[in-house]
Amino acid sequence: MIAVTDLSKHYAVPSRKGGRKHLRALDRVSFEIREREILGIVGESGCGKSTLGKAMLRLVEPTSGHVVYQGKDLIKLPSGELQALRTDLQMVFQDPYSSLNPRMRVGEVLGEVLWVHGTRGKEEKDKRVSGLLDMVGLSQDHARRFPHEFSGGQRQRIGIARALAVSPKFLVLDEPVSSLDVSIQAQILSLLTDLKSRLSLTYLFISHDLAVISMLADRVAVMYLGRFVESGPVREVFSSPLHPYTQALISAIPTLSDEPIAQKAKALGEPANPVDPPPGCPYHPRCPLAQGECRIEVPELRTHHENHTVSCHRV
């Protein structure tokens, strides 16, 4: 459905000695998403996962790369044509409160989206708004309320309704449940699963929470310092992770089972500064398995078997 090739986003940051340095928030990332699939993107803060979601939809302008959708490269498209395609490609953010206008009633928020994308008649608009509210599990009279009158979970439902207003085919979900309480999180996750099958949607699901990804996604890509370090079918990546970083992430999850953490899998220290990434494999300073070549040469992402790829010298 969507093919991403060598997508990069670099930011110029002033360096201490004067002059500029490049922060590679996203560094030559390539992948494909198939129709009706959920691709999970997982990684810790600053790994570039949100930048990836935004760069794909050109909510930030990528530095280079291609995003091909319906035979068109979104990155090269003039803004008018891009606008037309945006109805297919929508985004849901982590904090719906900061992305909802506090002075607009929910009905107006949704109505505005419909208006921008061509729905004119009031009756038609009202009908669509109530249909949307119903779809995300809210009731009709919620249309007259303001965002502050809702709980976090309800606001996220509004965020989802707004994304769905233009009948998209593809959604980028950026940490959609991270700010919610766990009992509410589960409600939103089942809503998303339900909507996906009902509306035949395709998701790029971004999360720092491996467990959430493992429950929802078909395939997963693990990011570290702007790159994919491992990707493959969810079940396989989580049951037999190849990359030491994926292993560290999995063993760091506080599970309710009482298996002890394997000492070797733990990540040492903290992530490197993305402005000044270490030479060689970006993970090597934290990797318990690092050896000579890891410090010199950047490992390429290669296919380990079938759809399971990994970038590590030691696998």
Partner 1 sequence: MSLLLDVQDLRLTLPSREHSFSPVDGVSFSLSPGEALGLVGESGCGKSLTALSLLRLVPEGSGISGRALFEGQNLLQLPDEAMRQVRGSRLAMIFQEPMTCLNPLLRIGDQVSEAILIHEKVSRREAEERSIALLKQVGIPIPERRARDFPHQLSGGMRQRTMIAMALVLKPSLLIADEPTTALDVTIQAQILDLLGSLQQEYGMAVLFISHDMGVVSRVAGRVAVMYAGRIVEQGKVDEVLRHPRHPYTKGLLSSRPELGRKGLSGIAGTVPDPKRFPPACRFHPRCPIVEDVCREKEPDLSEVSSGHLSRCWKAETLKA
| Bridge partner residues of 310 (DSSP) | 230, 302
**Binder among 59, 186, 199, 298 for partner 1 (CB under 8 A):** 186
Report the C-alpha gap between 175 and 226 in whole angstroms.
17
Selected range binding partner 1 among 1-9, 49-57, 104-112, 252-260, rule: CB under 8 A: 252-260
Calpha distance 82→117 (Å, rounded): 13
Contact segment (CB under 8 A) with partner 1 among 53-61, 167-175, 253-261, 295-303 equals: 253-261
3-class SS of residue 67: strand
Give the number of residues in contact with partner 1, rule: CB under 8 A.
41
Torsion, Cα 65 201 100 62, to 10 degrees, reads 0
Rounded Cα–Cα distance for residues 163 and 212 (Å): 21
Record the tokens describing residue 171, joined without a space.
Answer: 């959604």
Determine how many CB atoms are found less than 10 A away from the CB of residue 312.
24
Residue 84 tokens read as 């037309």
How far apart, in Å, are the Cα atoms of 53 and each of 7, 171, 247? 11, 10, 24
Closest to partner 1 by CB, 2 vs 191, is 191
CB of 256 to partner 1, least distance (A): 6
- Give min distance, CB of 193 to partner 1, in A: 9
Considering only the stretches 116-124, 164-172, 209-217, 289-297, report the one whose residues sit in contact with partner 1 under the rule CB under 8 A: 209-217
| Nearest CB to partner 1, comparing residues 165 and 216 | 216
Among positions 36-65, residues that touch partner 1 (CB under 8 A) are 44-45
In angstroms, what is the minimal distance from the CB of 263 to partner 1?
11
CB 135 to partner 1: min, Å:
18
Site for partner 1 in 254-313 (CB under 8 A): 254-256, 258, 261, 266-267, 269-271, 286
SS3 (DSSP) at 49: helix
Candidates 315, 311, 248; CA nearest to 27 is 311
**Site residues (CB under 8 A) for partner 1?**
44-45, 151, 153-154, 181-187, 189-190, 208-212, 214-215, 235, 238-239, 248-256, 258, 261, 266-267, 269-271, 286
